[in-house]
Amino acid sequence: MDHFLYRDGQLMAEDVNIAEIAAQVGTPFYVYSTATLLRHFKLFDDALSGMDHLVCFAVKSLSNVAVLKLLGDAGAGMDVVSGGEYLRAKAAGVSGDKIVFSGIGKTREEMRLALEGGIRQFNVESEPEMEVLSQVALSLNTVAPITVRVNPDVDAKTHAKISTGKKEDKFGIPISRAREVYAMAAKLRGLKVIGIDVHIGSQLTELEPFRLAYRKVAELTEQLRSDGHDITRLDLGGGLGIPYARDNNAPPLPREYGALIKEEVGHLGCEIEIEPGRLISGNAGLLVAKVIYVKSGEDREFLIVDAAMNDLIRPAMYDAWHDIVPVIEPVAGVDQTPYDVVGPICESGDTFAKGRMLPPLDPDALVAFRSAGAYSAVMSSEYNSRPLIPEVLVNGDQFAVIRRRPTFEDMINRDTIPEWM
């Protein structure tokens, strides 16, 4: 569910007319719904009621500081994968004891940053990382709390580029070697083992892969406890998918996911962490663009819009589907036209959709790309020297720009010409 609905023929973001935002901010832009973000966070929090737990928002899905503050104030922890994300979470007012540091390539500088600023735990992914983290912690006269990310070799049945739990994926330590790796961690004076971490992928649309992974984690928990490790926390990752197309089968609900967690690991008495991102932020955002031209090709019509692959790369990178809807509600029964919806970048890959059925649209018409809150603005770039586009947050009948559009001068002035030129 989201809060982007037509009212009196106009697409609204909660109680704000999308066209009014476009008139003030210009296109293209991202817009997020406060009500949707909070509702989706609460669904996960409620799903784990009765268990000691923390829902850590995956910052990599949507890292705007205003959004992080909104969720942090609602009680969310944060899952970060870089020093920059850590600093964003801190800037949003999230305390270090609610920030989990994941990722396979943490540097010494990032480790030091988190240890000095406060951290809930590091999810470590290799023996070399454990050794370096121990060294950094000892140099600061402290101890780093860790979980070890295990790779359970479970097929998440998702896109190959967002699968993280198969043996050929780069993430984690093979679960078959976990006991020896935990034995090594226990000998490192700068580390304190507190739990286990697992994450098998993103955009999962069924529960069975989670079940298979969590059963392996439950078995490993018992083994590690028998080896003398004090396993008190299980970080079960994220990955629950969202429906990108309206006619897709709906993925499992957070309450069903929560019930599975209770069933598979609830008997272990561990504190549970989960790291949802997409399901909290995905349907909470739109990308709004304006039609520049309607171009007739040899055998198709092209709808050329002012958004491009540098603004929303998911279709080019993953062949991802986003519903595209006009901001002015079409008249019931109007004939639909198949359009190739494309951007202005000099790449054939700058294509959002092919043969997409839409009502006839003229230049200057506004269109909205649905489910664009996750892995969208965060993956944008300035390719073709196109400025990053604004992000807007709506709350009821109010809206605010939470990331402004830089000027061309802003972009150019970041470059410097050497004196010898």
Give Cα separations from 368 to 179, 326, 338, 371, 376 (angstroms).
50, 6, 17, 10, 14
Q: How many structural domains does the chain have?
A: 2
421, part of any domain: no
Determine the distance from the C-alpha atom of residue 173 to the mean position of all C-alpha atoms in its chain, rounded to a whole number. Answer: 23
Confidence tier at 202 by pLDDT (50, 70, 90): confident
Q: Which domain-ending residue is among 231, 258, 279?
A: 279
- Answer whether residue 87 shows pLDDT above 50: yes
Looking up residue 57, the CATH number of its domain turns out to be 3.20.20.10
| Interaxial angle between packed helices 178-187 and 127-139, expressed in degrees from 0 to 180 and rounded to the nearest 10 | 20
Check whether residue 343 and residue 382 sit in a common domain: yes
The string of pLDDT tens digits covering residues 354-389 is: 999 999 999 999 999 999 999 999 999 999 999 999
Question: What pLDDT, on the 0 to 100 scale, is given for residue 167?
Answer: 53
What are residue 313's phi and psi, to 5 degrees? -90, -10
Beta strand ranges found along 14-70 (DSSP E): 16-17, 29-33, 53-58
Amino acid at position 114, single letter: A
420, part of any domain: no
Question: Looking at residue 150, what DSSP letter applies?
Answer: E
**Residues belonging to the active site:** 346
- Answer whether residue 286 shows pLDDT above 70: yes
* Tokens 């309607």, located at residue: 294
Interval 391-405 mean pLDDT:
98
418, part of any domain: no
Pairing of strands 16-17, 10-13: antiparallel
Is residue 240 a contact partner of residue 280, using CB atoms and an 8 Å limit?
A: no
Closest CA to 303 of 261, 259, 337, 277: 337
Check whether residue 245 and residue 373 sit in a common domain: no
What residues pair up with 201 in beta bridges, in sequence order?
163
Check whether residue 231 and residue 327 sit in a common domain: no
Check whether residue 315 and residue 271 sit in a common domain: no
369, part of any domain: yes
- Answer whether residue 170 shows pLDDT above 80: no
124, part of any domain: yes
Amino acid at position 247, single letter: D
Interval 227-246 mean pLDDT:
89
96, part of any domain: yes
Give the pair of three-digit tokens for residue 21: 């935002």
Check whether residue 323 and residue 227 sit in a common domain: no
Confidence tier at 335 by pLDDT (50, 70, 90): very high
- Answer whether residue 9 shows pLDDT above 60: yes
Is residue 119 a contact partner of residue 101, using CB atoms and an 8 Å limit?
A: yes
Question: Looking at residue 49, what DSSP letter applies?
Answer: T
User: Exposed/middle/buried for 98, CB within 10 Å: 0-12, 13-18, 19+?
Assistant: middle
In a 13 Å sphere around the CA of 210, the CA atoms on its Cβ side amount to 27
Confidence tier at 201 by pLDDT (50, 70, 90): confident
- Answer whether residue 20 shows pLDDT above 90: yes
419, part of any domain: no
Distance, in Å, from the CA atom of 394 to the CA atom of 83, rounded to the nearest integer, reads 28
Question: Looking at residue 201, what DSSP letter applies?
Answer: B
Q: What is the percent of the chain with per-residue pLDDT over 90, rounded to a whole number?
A: 86
Is residue 191 a contact partner of residue 230, using CB atoms and an 8 Å limit?
A: no
Q: Which domain-ending residue is among 225, 251, 279?
A: 279
- Answer whether residue 185 shows pLDDT above 60: yes
* Predicted TM-score of the model (pTM): 0.94
151, part of any domain: yes
- Answer whether residue 164 shows pLDDT above 80: no
Looking up residue 342, the CATH number of its domain turns out to be 2.40.37.10
User: Exposed/middle/buried for 272, CB within 10 Å: 0-12, 13-18, 19+?
Assistant: buried
Check whether residue 123 and residue 150 sit in a common domain: yes
Choose the weakest-confidence range: 205-209, 275-279, 376-380: 205-209
The string of pLDDT tens digits covering residues 134-162 is: 999 999 999 999 999 998 877 655 445 44
- Answer whether residue 122 shows pLDDT above 70: yes
Check whether residue 127 and residue 204 sit in a common domain: yes
Distance, in Å, from the CA atom of 117 to the CA atom of 274, rounded to the nearest integer, reads 22
Check whether residue 86 and residue 178 sit in a common domain: yes
Check whether residue 206 and residue 300 sit in a common domain: no
Interval 9-35 mean pLDDT:
98
What residues pair up with 145 in beta bridges, in sequence order?
192
Closest CA to 354 of 402, 395, 301: 301
Check whether residue 204 and residue 91 sit in a common domain: yes
Question: What pLDDT, on the 0 to 100 scale, is given for residue 160?
Answer: 53
Choose the weakest-confidence range: 145-149, 230-234, 318-322: 318-322
Give the pair of three-digit tokens for residue 330: 């079409």
Q: What is the percent of the chain with per-residue pLDDT over 70, rounded to a whole number?
A: 95
* Tokens 């926390």, located at residue: 233
Write down the mean pLDDT value for the chain: 93
Question: What pLDDT, on the 0 to 100 scale, is given for residue 165?
Answer: 43
* Tokens 């959709």, located at residue: 353
Question: What pLDDT, on the 0 to 100 scale, is given for residue 248?
Answer: 61
Distance, in Å, from the CA atom of 74 to the CA atom of 95, rounded to the nearest integer, reads 13
| Cα end-to-end distance, the chain, whole Å | 56
Interval 243-253 mean pLDDT:
74
Check whether residue 105 and residue 239 sit in a common domain: yes
Is residue 206 a contact partner of residue 245, using CB atoms and an 8 Å limit?
A: no
Check whether residue 137 and residue 246 sit in a common domain: yes
Give the pair of three-digit tokens for residue 137: 């912690």
How many residues in the chain? 421
Nearest-5° Cα angle at 239, 145 to 42: 85
Q: Which domain-ending residue is among 220, 255, 279?
A: 279
Confidence tier at 231 by pLDDT (50, 70, 90): very high
What are residue 346's phi and psi, to 5 degrees? -80, 60
Domain residues for the domain of 182 are 34-279
Is residue 232 a contact partner of residue 273, using CB atoms and an 8 Å limit?
A: no
- Answer whether residue 247 shows pLDDT above 60: no
Confidence tier at 205 by pLDDT (50, 70, 90): confident
